[in-house]
Amino acid sequence: MQTSRTLYCVTSLALLSIATPALAGKANDTLVYASDSEPENVSPYHNNLREGVILAHLAWDTLIYRNPQTNEYEPRLATEWEWADDKTLDLVLREGVTFHNGEAFNADDVAFTFNYAVSPKSRVVTRQNVDWIESVEKLDEYQVRIHLKEPFPAALEYLSGPMPIYPDEYFQEVGIEGFSREPVGTGPYRITNVRPGDGVSLTRFDDYFADSPIGQPEIANIEFKAIADADSRMAQLMSGQVDWIWRVPSDQAESLSTMPQLSVLGGETMRVGYIGLDAAAREDSPLNDLRVRQAINHAMNREGLANDLVRGGSQPLYAPCFPTQFGCETQDVVEYEYDPDKARELLAEAGYADGFDIDLHAYRERDYAEAMI
């Protein structure tokens, strides 16, 4: 993101359509969830899709758990942790935990997972999730020491999020290719079938450890289906073949909400949409002129986009962070009002009274990008 004073932001929205209990698969105790995308590799370290994040939460555990209600860090696979110094974190691990294949969880698994993840051979997709670690040392059967490259205040947050633990013996036996086909974790569900292009099957792990802060799973089976076509997902939802879909356009969500057998839920997310404007003049462009960047900001109807396009709790933002994030509570930044006349005036002052052509590159939410154009 370019740090300039001309930044357009608006929160994004996740809309969900969920079938009523009458269609929720109670007969076979199965929840069927459909999405338009699927991870190329179900290994959490080797994909960065939201579908992959969901699978990771279901099939793997992290060392620490952050309670979403209190934001407090709680024990998960680690029962205790203490900073020896700014770059050394010691953790005591939980005893009696088993992986889905029966392998016992211990310090070897933690040391292997993180040392593998930070190595170049791992091909981890999102390297910033692990690159703050220098190495991990096994102290005894249930104690590890994490050595940091530099002091990293977000260490506990990362250990509670995108850093699950793998079984060292099994992973080293089958490698990443074998692991992607038959993954193993300690989580509340075990993955029983990976079908590239079609979906993933999960079954409740009956030996999931009793003291887990997330509790025990109530649904016996979960079926994830990859259905690229939006109309097909909608049709299967309405016919009862699918119980839950998401990323529903707001206009379709409104029509679905009138159907008695469906529940439509919409909620605000922490995703921030923005246009990055190059204020560093790295190439010859009208954007090099501050007045042009200001004009673009005044030409953006943030309220209209939030209320009429995104909807469901979306709100305009004027800083590249979400208000509930740490350090973002007070947004003391410039707020640009929607003022097309002011935008035209600024363009004329910059020598572009008749406007100019420029490319907008976007990689998701096509309807949002088209509205901004």
For 198-251, how does the pLDDT look when each residue is reduced to its tens digit (9 = 90+)?
A: 999 999 999 999 999 999 999 999 999 999 998 999 899 988 899 999 888 777
Strands 244-246 and 30-35: parallel
- Go through 119-155 and write b for each residue having 16 or more CB atoms within 10 A of its CB, e for each that does not: eeebebbeeebbebbeebebeeebbbbbebeeebeeb
Helical (H) or strand (E) element with 110 = helix 107-118
Sole residue written with tokens 């699927």: 38
Classify residue 76 as exposed, middle or buried by CB count within 10 Å of its CB (0-12, 13-18, 19+).
buried
Contacts of 336 (CB under 8 A, 6+ apart): 6, 294, 297, 298, 300, 318
For residue 40, the cross-strand partners are none
Query: In the predicted model, is pLDDT for residue 363 greater than 50?
Result: yes
Q: Would you give the DSSP letter of residue 288?
A: G
Convert the pLDDT of each residue in 260-307 to its tens digit.
888 888 777 788 888 888 888 888 999 999 999 999 999 999 999 988
Sole residue written with tokens 């707020």: 335
pLDDT band at 16 (very low <50, low <70, confident <90, very high): low
Short-list 300, 317, 316, CA closest to 369: 300
Q: Which amino acid is at 28?
A: N
Q: Tell me, yes or no, if the pTM score tops 0.85.
A: no
Structure tokens at 139: 């102290």
Mean pLDDT, residues 169-187: 98
Question: Which domains are assigned to the chain?
Answer: 8-13+268-372 (3.10.105.10), 37-226 (3.40.190.10)
pLDDT band at 1 (very low <50, low <70, confident <90, very high): very low
- Residue 234 CA to residue 264 CA, distance in Å, equals 12
Convert the pLDDT of each residue in 134-146 to its tens digit.
999 999 999 999 9
What is the residue-averaged pLDDT of the chain?
90
- Residue 107 CA to residue 340 CA, distance in Å, equals 61
Mean pLDDT, residues 155-184: 98
Q: Do 163 and 192 form a contact (C-beta atoms < 8 A)?
A: no
SS3 349: helix
Q: Do 5 and 214 form a contact (C-beta atoms < 8 A)?
A: no
CA dihedral sign, ordered 116, 120, 126, 130: positive
Convert the pLDDT of each residue in 67-82 to its tens digit.
999 989 999 999 999 9
